[in-house]
């Protein structure tokens, strides 16, 4: 669980580099989701939550695009 938590935060830092608003929002969401489920004892539910977290990490890493505004008509 801790390994996946750290991986999500590392991915967040890579994906949203230089975007402080997105970095903070993602940090809060990751921490909130893990905290909300920290008392879960069902092995089946824990495995399901870990699968969801792993899927989210893959989506962040492969599907999120950060654009940089360089000029009034260019991104």
The answer to whether residues 7 and 50 touch, using CB atoms and an 8 Å cutoff, is no
3-state secondary structure of 74: strand
The answer to the question of residue 52 being in a domain is: yes
**Phi and psi at residue 26, in whole multiples of 5°?**
-65, -40
pTM of the predicted model, to two decimals?
0.80
In a domain, residue 72? The reply is no
Structural domains of the chain, count: 1
Q: Please write the tens of the pLDDT for every residue from 5-42.
A: 999 999 999 999 989 999 999 999 999 999 999 999 99
Query: Is residue 1 classed as helix, strand or coil in its secondary structure?
Result: coil
CA end-to-end span of the chain: 38
Give the residue numbers spanning the domain of 13.
1-63
pLDDT of residue 75: 57
H helical segments located in the chain = 2-15, 20-36, 43-63
pLDDT tens, 19-29? 999 999 999 99
Residue 15 lies in a domain: yes
């Amino acid at each position: 669980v801790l390994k996946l938590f750290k991986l999500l935060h590392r991915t967040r830092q890579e994906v949203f580099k230089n975007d402080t608003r997105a970095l903070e929002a993602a940090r809060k969401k990751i921490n909130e989701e893990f905290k909300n489920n920290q008392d879960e004892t069902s092995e089946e539910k824990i495995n399901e939550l870990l699968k969801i977290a792993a899927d989210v990490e893959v989506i962040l890493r492969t599907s999120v695009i950060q654009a940089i505004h360089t000029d009034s008509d260019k991104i």
